[in-house]
Structure 1
Amino acid sequence: MPLVLAGPLQAWGSSSRFSRRNTENAPTKSGVVGLLAAALGRDRTADLADLAALRFGVRVDQPGTRVRDYQTAHHLVTGVSMPVSERFYLSDAVFVVAVEGGSELVRRLYEAVLAPVYLPYLGRRSCPPSRPLELGEPAASPLEDVLRDLPWQAAGWYRKRRGLRQGPDIELSTYVDAMPGGSRADSLRDLPLSFDPRHRRYGLRAIRSGSVTVPNSELVERRVQAAPDHDPLSALGDP
């Protein structure tokens, strides 16, 4: 099932502690599983085993820019100043995310995304999406094929900026769950085990980095626009 995650701000933390809240450069599995669990209406203490078992992949269509914010607060009762909190975000980023699993579960997730119980957000509640999440009906295709075949989802201004200085194809980075026993994999502690606020738990996930090549939609659009349905010689008439 493919999704597009786009918004003014996104934040996908995996190792934030105390007053410094960082973000990864791409959506984390824990963040997207949390989004899907919220769409289903699951409580934070609900079992996540079925969602955590989904294969997960990300395509970076528009990497965005990392920005820093800071927050100040005072204790409600004593009025004492609390420590300054640093928070990092990705601004103007666009990602294609795909999950792969049992057809019945994926169908329920698709329907939940169309009509979510709780509003979705992109990593933090202050980061709403700027466009609908769904990118079409779930397909039986492998996750890697979905990430390769979907059209480039970047914003128009970004496609124009990057697309016009490149050729007919655009290379996009991908991050996909590594298969068991696979080699050359990185690891990230973003496999959700429990969202219980009393004891959130995350495990390590193996990730394989790669890339896919998609058509340069900016060049395709320009070719279409450059061929108007007009014959200037028609005004001359017959000899």
Structure 2
Amino acid sequence: MPLHVTVVDDHSAVRLGMKYIIRDWMPEAAVSFAENMPELLRLLSSKFIHIIVLDINIPGGNHFDMIKMIRDIQANVRILVLSAYEELLYALRYIDLGADGYLQKDSREDEIKEALNTVFRGKKYLSDDVKEHLLQRRLNHGILSGDNPLQRLTNRELEVCQLLVQGKGVTEISKALFIHTSTVGTYKGKIYEKLNVINIRELMDKFNFHHIGAGQK
């Protein structure tokens, strides 16, 4: 069976660029596309896929349950996250949740091929920057003075924070995350406290400054 790689991204230029890189990396590979999470789940239900190159910021996605949703359908598929989100904030979270690798969209072509090779062999891929970050944290007993303040948030708090910054109200957030409105209020209070902000404008400024890597989407 030829290698089947699915690129999941809602931008056609990214999908076509990844197809070029994948075919250059492994010419015999079959490449398919999905533009959103429901489309990916339908594809997983109908075809065997070896590797998914996944942008986590897609319609119907952009939450930490995405990895579980994928593995509930195909448990052994390799998942390489390719995102504009800051890797020092997100990489280890997604690895812990079951992704096989994390790479930022501004990575060089040879880095992307190295990541594909690594996850294809069944190993975990992290960039040199993330590895250095982990090493420095270990040497400093788990503390880095220059840490991104968003790292203080739990996964759920980070999800709530994202929605708050998007302008969602408490009721909208409770429906989106299937939690009670009072729970959303509790998370909101913890977010404000951990990030040392007092209103949504301060939250938006701090979040936008630390959240996106490389000035991308």
Structure with the bigger percentage of strand: 1
Structure ID, larger Rg: 1
Greater RCO structure (CA 8 Å; 6+ sep): 1
- What is the TM-score normalised by the length of structure 2? 0.22
- What is the TM-score normalised by the length of structure 1? 0.21
